[in-house]
Amino acid sequence: MTTEKNGMSASRRQFLTGAAAIGAGTVAATVARAAEPDPLITEVQDWASSFGDGVDATPYGLPIKYEDDVIRRNVEWLTADTISSINFTPIHALDGTITPTGCAFERHHSGAIELKKEDYRLMINGLVETPMVFSYEDLERFPRENHVYFCECAANTGMEWAGAQLNGAQFTHGMIHNMEYSGIPVRTLLAEAGWNGEVEGKWLYVEGADASSNGRSIPLEKALDDCLVAIKANGEALRKEHGYPARLVVPGWEGNMWVKWIRRMEITDGPIESREETSKYTDTLADGTSRKWTWVMDAKSVVTSPSPQMPITHGHGPLVITGIAWTGHGKITRVDVSKDGGKTWETARLATDAGDKAMVRFYLDTEWNGEEMFLQSRAMDETGYVQPTKAQLREVRGLNSIYHNNCIQTWWVKPNGEAENVEVS
Amino acid sequence: ADADKKFGLGRAALPEEVAAWNVDVSPDGTGLPAGSGDVWTGETVFEENCAVCHGSFAEGVDNWPKLAGGDGTLDHEDPLKTVGSYWPYLSTVWDYVHRSMPFGSAQTLSPDEVYAIVAYILYSNDLVDDDFVLSDENFAEFEMPNKDGFIVDDRAETEYTIWSGEPCMENCKESVEITMRATVLDVTPDHGGEDGMAEEAAAAPAETTE
């Protein structure tokens, strides 16, 4: 699937066609006057005269064709194949906070499997009174909770450790989605199996039904606190690629632990130290030692527009700078935006109250008159933590930790409105 | 909701069902089935099942993971993280191979085949001699070279305390200079940089997604 026409991406075409308007922009706060009446107004258009589609045309709809560049994309050279791989949410083109499920990123280790509700089984075993098996139907009968949470891959922005590498917010920050989940608290399910109540030193090993299994060890305390077995996302059944019919939700923690197609939870006396918490999802520091169990995703933000895929095409005057922020430590309290590469900062407007471990949208409504900008955003969360620069991160971790890159991102907006991923001093 | 309340949903799992799915192996060897395998048997089984991606000597083919080599490179500019140079526990190798390999036909290896493959991977990493036999009985004795190479997440001490408080809002920097540009690298899809650009891209990403 490609959006290229004549070898040119949609955003590039949009940029070139829109670029002509730059310089012809109107002076702010004066009313522009058209030279000629607009035929789209003065002539009766077909859609104002004849029929549109009937209500039986689209039982389950997709976005209109004009939005066909708002899609997941992958980066071929990142992985050896597309089965154990990643794709990216088009965050540059979205607004608000809820990620449309159909373009929410995917990360699989042995592909997106097809598991019918009738074939689904969830086992609970280990240090429980009675090892149990639940059907999907059983899950639907437990009391449910609803929560909005972000799921961010530990490797999001990982390609940027060594330098500015991928030119677009979708590619630098798109291993993330934010959905409303309906699910059963893990504590409810463990109680059903007769867990004895001991937490200290106990772990929950969780695995999926797919070949990769994706087993991870979670401290029991966290599992009991706010983890869910989710059966719905954004109001409907989980998409196949997001774990249909059930997945684990681990609020605020790295996406790898959000085990999809969840088939088993085992209470253990210790961590299993599985492949996904030893070989992978461990963060190598400059001295060659590596951090393990770096579960929480720290406060992070990114300007989604303007950005390399969202150039300014409307000329001078009012400009909406917007982006997203999130933290695994609770709630975002503030997002600051800089237009000059971090010399000066303005506090942006949060569109809504930030939810717990959920994405929040920020806006800075401003004026742009063609000056070069170095756009940055800096998130703060309720613990007082301030999103660091890449230099600060590198100072502590070096260049090889792969995961957990929550650095401040810089977009260089040029006088023609085009934007580029850069690093600045 | 009352966390201790039981709803009477689900059913007891049968022992055979638990045995079928509960195959995880802990670092101390808990969970290992009885069995054994030697290096030379492992070489044969590896050649038949694994070498097409991982190479005859576990050195890796194309972009497929390298399972051997990289000893002493963890603090280098481009560390090579393999079973020998990086993995802390042998249990993980056994568990992961048994459960999730070969890629595309997982869970087709017998316990003895897995013991043999693991023995061969150790041999390929120069960690055992060619007469080595791995079994459930000697498994727990084996210590991996990088077992002490890991620390538990210490961000609370090394980062959170430093990166908090009221941040600078004005006159925060003298100057701003561009030090890196993504378009120079030109490896972003839709920008004509997809062909053969992987070599120039940073090595890290390939690792993120093996």
pLDDT of A3 above 50: no
pLDDT of A9 above 70: no
Please, what is the average pLDDT of chain A?
94
Q: Is B63 on the interface with A (CB under 8 A)?
A: yes
Could you tell me the pLDDT band of residue A410, with boundaries at 50, 70 and 90? very high
Per-residue pLDDT, averaged over B10-36, amounts to: 98
Strands A247-249 and A228-233, how do they pair?
antiparallel
**A181 DSSP assignment:** E
| Higher pLDDT pick, A1 / A384 | A384
Q: Is the pTM of this model over 0.75?
A: yes
Q: Residue B94, by phi and psi: left (phi above 0), alpha (psi -120 to 50) or beta?
A: alpha
Q: Is B195 on the interface with A (CB under 8 A)?
A: no
Q: B43 is written with which tokens?
A: 């070489």
Return the pLDDT at A161: 95
Q: Is A291 on the interface with B (CB under 8 A)?
A: yes
| Residues of B whose CB is below 8 A from A294 | 153, 155
The string of pLDDT tens digits covering residues B149-185 is 999 999 999 999 999 999 999 999 999 999 999 988 8
Instruction: Quote the percentage of chain B above a pLDDT of 90.
Output: 84
Hey, are the CB atoms on A422 and B99 less than 8 Å from each other? Answer: no
CB atoms within 10 A of CB A112: 17
Q: Is A49 on the interface with B (CB under 8 A)?
A: no
**Mutation site for B-interface testing, chosen from A290, A381, A404 by largest number of B Cβ within 10 Å:** A290
Three-state secondary structure call for residue A171:
helix
Closest in A107, A131, A293 to B153, CB measured: A293
Q: Is B198 on the interface with A (CB under 8 A)?
A: yes
The string of pLDDT tens digits covering residues A277-297 is 999 999 999 999 999 999 999
Hey, are the CB atoms on A192 and B24 less than 8 Å from each other? Answer: no
For residue B3, the distance in angstroms to the closest alpha carbon of chain A comes to 6
Between positions 104 and 123 of B, the ones with CB within 8 A of A are 104, 106-107
Hey, are the CB atoms on A86 and B208 less than 8 Å from each other? Answer: yes
Return the pLDDT at B16: 98
pLDDT of B25 above 60: yes
Hey, are the CB atoms on A9 and B190 less than 8 Å from each other? Answer: yes
| Residues of B whose CB is below 8 A from A207 | 24
Closest in B92, B158, B175 to A425, CB measured: B175
Strands A262-268 and A121-126, how do they pair?
parallel
Which burial class, exposed, middle or buried, applies to A239 when counting CB atoms under 10 A from its CB (0-12, 13-18, 19+)? middle
The string of pLDDT tens digits covering residues A219-275 is 999 999 999 999 999 999 999 999 999 999 999 999 999 999 999 999 999 999 999
Q: Is A130 on the interface with B (CB under 8 A)?
A: yes
The string of pLDDT tens digits covering residues A74-100 is 999 998 899 999 999 999 999 999 999
**Contact at 8 Å (CB) between A161 and A400?**
yes
